[in-house]
Amino acid sequence: MYLAELEDRLGHTFRNNQLLEEALTHPSYFVESMKTTGKDFQRLEFLGDAVLGLAITEKLFEIFPSFDEGKLTKLRAKLVSRKVLSLLASSLGIGKYLRLGKGEEKNQGRTKPSNLANALESVIGALYLDGGWEKAKSFVFQLFSPLFVELHKDPSAFLEYENSKGLLQEFLQKKGMELPVYRIVLESGEAHNKWYEVEVLWKNQVLGKGSGKSKKEAELRAAKEAFEKLISQTPTDLIQES
């Protein structure tokens, strides 16, 4: 089965293969093909959105017992944003498996953030139907685990920079064991008013640069620039474990 590789990444072998195929089928696939029957991912996306939201809510409720509804809602919204979901979908290589119409294929549909985010939600919906709540929740927790770790350390930084360091490290580890290195290239100002400029390197290549009033802020900005650049330049069919 051509989706076996993706199933390995999802940690689940589907009993109903059609569910996974449906979860990866863009609406354009049937519109622009000779096929008159079949389902696209829109219904599973609807279901997956609810499953994802509940799983994220449960985890946030657990790790932030002192946070009120407003803070929890804000954190959840950031975690399930289109941008974060599309980046996580890219890290799984979901774009490689999408079934697209010819027009959508030519229009770089495999790398479109909206297609990737929608497909990830639909895959979560398919996991829920095929494996149940615990399987779907386990997958969500594992996929978002680097974000949860960074979020627990510093919720305010996560809200601003979307765990850029964690996402960058996870992305690079799928392409090799070497970790990114952060290097201060400029430190200026008085002790009470410092300014830092940082580069992030991987295999001696400068991937991104950032600046800020603290080393951490500068590193986060450098990681954010590097991660967004890598995602935009790397075909999703190459984003896979080495």
* Residue 160 appears among annotated catalytic residues: no
CATH of the domain spanning 163-242, picked from 3.30.160.20, 3.60.10.10, 1.10.8.60, 3.40.50.920: 3.30.160.20
On average, the pLDDT of the chain sits at: 85
Axis-axis angle for helices 215-233, 82-92 (nearest 10): 60
Residue 163 known to bind ligand: no
Any idea where the domains of the chain sit in the sequence? 1-151, 163-242
* Residue 49 appears among annotated catalytic residues: yes
The model's confidence at residue 238, banded by pLDDT at 50, 70 and 90, is very low
Catalytic residue, chosen from 21, 40, 104, 121, is: 121
pLDDT in tens, 32-71: 665 556 689 999 999 999 999 999 999 999 999 988 898 8
Residue 121 known to bind ligand: yes
What CATH architecture does domain 1-151 belong to?
Answer: Orthogonal Bundle (1.10)
pLDDT in tens, 133-173: 999 999 999 999 888 887 887 776 666 555 678 778 877 87
**What's the confidence (pLDDT) of residue 192?**
80
pLDDT in tens, 176-228: 768 899 999 999 988 888 899 999 999 889 999 999 888 888 998 899 888 87
Q: Please determine whether the domains at 1-151 and 163-242 fall in the same fold group of CATH.
A: no
Catalytic residue, chosen from 21, 40, 49, 104, is: 49
Residue 118 known to bind ligand: yes
φ, ψ for residue 200, nearest 5 deg? -110, 130
